[in-house]
Structure 1
Amino acid sequence: MGTAARTNSVYGGVYGALRTLMHLTAAVQFTYGIYYDYSYVEFPTTEPEMRIHHPFGGKFKYLTFLDALIQALYYIVSLVNDFVGTNELAPKRPPAIRQFKDWLMATLAFPVALNVGVTFWTLYAIDRELVFPKVLDPVFPSWLNHVLHTNIVVFIVLELFTSYRAYPKRSKGLTGLTIFMGAYLVWIHIVKHYSGVWVYPVLEVLQLPQRIVFFVAVIGFTLALYLVGEFLNNTVWAKEVKLAKRKSN
């Protein structure tokens, strides 16, 4: 083996180890965040200002919590793929775990993470009472807030630049994301019907026409984030995308 080959081999091994370490860190972080949130964070419902946190639907009515589940699943799948799948840039026959990993990243993990992070911090900057009232501070620790609303974006962007994935056909990817977001909107209306309150305080101050515009904007924004992820992937991994297209032809 020549010097250049040995150097590339060592570099590839170190790079792969760091990527696996990142997947492990993310998987542990988000899994623990879910566990802590589900087991220890209890919103009081006796105070008038806390009625928004009606127990119906539990934590599963919050997109933040559902996104944390998606992120934890994605990084666990990525970790498994690191050991029993393949991180080859353009494998001829990618194993099922690699195919699922690529689909999950493109269709849900990236766009939903950015949706949650950008929407939360934007509303927080405008008026935190619309999304994270101060009364929650004693029961929802700051570190957990950043795990669920900040780190999800940090890690998914790192993942974008450190792992190549083959995007599905745009129609299939957008359809999957639309089904997920549409199902979530139906779910929060079910929660509203049985609890009498909206999941998010911002929805309480919007009239019906404004809510319709808000929901359309949220879905449109999320679909746009899918396209952003696809564009960034095709830009960062341009050579790999071309290679994959040549192999598929």
Structure 2
Amino acid sequence: MSVKILCHSFAALHFWFGCYYDWNYVEIPTDVHRMGSSFGKSGKLKFLTFWDAILQAVFFTICVINDVIGTNEDAPKKTPFIRRIKDLILTCLAFPLSMFVGLTFWCIYFVDRELIFPRALDKFFPVWLNHAMHTNIMIFILIELYTSYRKYPSRKFGMSVLSVFMLIYLIWIHIIHAYSGAWVYPILDVLNLPLRIVFFVGLFGLTLSLYLLGEKLNGVLWSKRLHIAKKR
């Protein structure tokens, strides 16, 4: 068994177990924090963190399948379907979303953690799970970016896929707010409508910037390697 299969399998199991544990064992009483309420039976699906953790689990599962029946060549002449799916998910969603979730969570956390992850939740949400959902997502995807080449789609296509995904989530949290009368994230409670609009536009811009960052990093990491490989 190759090192890549082992690493991808570990990453996939890591995120699948994190999602399973969070869904089945993390219960936050509503009298501790309203974040624990069902928000219209939306459960953990109200959080972008959970969406992203599922995405990472699916992505690394696809990586394992690609390791077995696809190819990990830097620039194959004929790219298998599973490899194309792997490349598209990483470029359009897995990289920008993992970086977005991790960076925004920890930036707000260090400014005022009560706005994103109140201390009252510490008894119910294990530290290891917090890092699995908000730290390891960045670490694993950066390792993948460094160790495996992927072909980026056209910028228009990639950013369109990411924009649609973020728009769907934005609509979703507004549906939850309309149904329950409460915002999913405490930070939204302290912002009036104009500031919320600025906040959402800023986060949207950050997400697209992270897409461009991934594209740039991919070029920096792999253009020289591919150039050397072609000379051999």
TM-score (norm: length of structure 2): 0.95
Alignment counterpart, residue 34 of structure 2, candidates 10, 30, 51: 51
Q: What do residues 189-209 of structure 1 show as CA deviations (whole Å, max 9, x unaligned)?
A: 000000110000000110100
Q: 2:222 aligns with which of 213, 230, 237?
A: 237
Q: Distance in 1 between matches of 2:22 and 2:217?
A: 32
The equivalent of 1:9 in structure 2 is none
What RMSD in Å do the two structures reach over aligned CA positions?
1.7
Distance in 2 (CA, whole Å) between partners of 1:239 and 1:154 is 23
Question: Residue 98 of structure 1 aligns with which residue?
Answer: 83
**Which of 50, 56, 63 pairs up with 1:65?**
50
Report the structure number with the largest CA radius of gyration.
1
**One-letter code aligned to 1:51:** R
Partner of 1:228: 213
- Quote the offset at 1:240 in angstroms: 5.6
Which residue identity does 1:62 align to in structure 2? F
Which residue number in structure 2 is paired with residue 167 of structure 1? 152
CA contact under 8 A between 1:43 and 1:139: conserved in structure 2? yes
What is the letter of the counterpart of residue 82 of structure 1? D
Q: Retained in 2: the 8 A contact 1:234–1:241? A: no
The normalised TM-score by structure 1 is: 0.88
Tell me the percent identity.
Answer: 52
Aligned pairs for 1:29-48 within 5 A: 29-45=14-30, 47=31
| Structure 2 alignment gaps of length 5 or more | none
Deviation sequence 1:202-224 (CA, Å, 0-9, x none): 00110100000000011100000
Measure, in 2, the Cα distance between the counterparts of 1:78 and 1:114: 19
Cα contact 2:98–2:141 (8 A) shared by 1: yes
Partner in structure 2 of residue 150 of structure 1? 135
* CA distance in structure 2 between the partners assigned to 1:233 and 1:167 by the alignment: 8
- How big is the shift at 1:90? 0.8
**How far off its partner does 1:24 sit?**
1.0
Q: Secondary structure at the match of 2:182?
A: coil
Q: Quick one: distance in 1 between partners of 2:228 and 2:90?
A: 20
Distance in 1 (alpha carbons) for counterparts of 2:43 and 2:154:
35
Q: 1:78 aligns with which of 44, 53, 63?
A: 63
8 Å contact 1:117–1:153 — kept in the other structure?
Answer: yes
- What CA distance in whole angstroms lies between the structure 1 residues aligned with 2:228 and 2:175? 46
Residue 17 of structure 1: CA displacement? Answer: 2.2
